[in-house]
Structure 1
Amino acid sequence: MELETMRPNPVFDAESYDDAVAVFESLADDIVVKVWGGDWCKDCRSQLPDFGAALDAAGVDAVEHYPVEKADDGSKVGPKVDEYGIELIPTVVVEDAATGEELARFVEEEDVPIAVYLAERLASRAE
């Protein structure tokens, strides 16, 4: 099942995110992007459409969606939630496609957009 919130924002300005898109573009064939979110989640609705657009602009095709629900006690329930230690959403994990090694992780909220945050971490690993 795909997350509606990962549909690319139609008014996304890729030029404003040139550096981040370039990093993802350079890694497009070598990474898998795993996204945990909920279409009911305010943070997901505000952050994931631009991230989806950045991945689309970079030509990243290996994107896995993991829809998450909130249990009565507030914990998150969904595919691979326990395996990946998902407590907050959106959470995005970037893995090496060949080895499955986690390369970068974004959890819920940072001072910069998801694509920028992850691209900075991925670029610093390459240095």
Structure 2
Amino acid sequence: MSATLETMTPTDTDVDLADDVVAALGADGLTFKVWGGDWCPDCTGQLPQFAAALAAAGVSADRIEQFPVEKVDGEKQGPGMDEYGVTHIPTVIVFDDGDEVARFVESADTDIATHLARELADE
């Protein structure tokens, strides 16, 4: 069983998303890697809504890989952080056929789902 983040449990399944955001996230072939920490205020504030957006877009759990990050001696540590260049959380990377096509890092001018949909639209 892969690791899971408590913060990736949708708190509200009734999310109001634009149709283009739902379509972008739900596109065939996309997979999502999510780094976060259940102790992290940014993660607990953003990831439940993102999880709800993925559910609304029909993204199955087998297309979402979660990477719990711990804080050890003031440093963030977790699986895959070095490999994928993750330094801040939450970080969400979207892949299409193994190629990175979008990335959200810590914060943006909008929610994670909308940010990623914008990046996917630019692809």
TM-score, structure 1 length as denominator? Answer: 0.88
Is the Cα–Cα contact under 8 Å of residues 13 and 56 in structure 2 kept in the other structure?
A: no
- Answering whether residue 44 of structure 2 is matched by residue 45 of structure 1, we say yes
Aligned residue runs from structure 1 range 98-109, under 5 A: 98=97, 100-109=98-107
| Identical amino acids, percent of aligned pairs | 55
Name the count of aligned residue pairs: 119
Gaps of 5+ in 2: none
Q: Which residue of 2 aligns with 1:122?
A: 120
Question: How far apart, in 2, do the equivalents of 1:7 and 1:58 lie?
Answer: 15
Q: Which residue of 1 aligns with 2:15?
A: 13
Relative to its length, the structure with more helix (as a share) is: 1
4+ aligned runs moved over 4 Å, structure 1? none
Q: 1:11: Cα distance to partner?
A: 5.1
Deviations 1:75-124 (A, max 9, x none): 3211101101111000000011x2x1100000001110000000000011
Is the Cα–Cα contact under 8 Å of residues 75 and 87 in structure 1 kept in the other structure?
A: no
Question: How far apart, in 1, do the equivalents of 2:89 and 2:14 lie?
Answer: 21
Partner of 1:103, secondary structure, is strand
Q: Which residue of 2 aligns with 1:83?
A: 83
Q: Which residue of 2 aligns with 1:33?
A: 32
Gaps of 5+ in 1: none
Is the Cα–Cα contact under 8 Å of residues 89 and 107 in structure 1 kept in the other structure?
A: yes
Is the Cα–Cα contact under 8 Å of residues 76 and 86 in structure 1 kept in the other structure?
A: no
Please tell me the root mean square deviation across aligned C-alpha atoms, in Å. 1.3
Deviations 1:41-99 (A, max 9, x none): 00000000010000001111200000001121x33211101101111000000011x2x
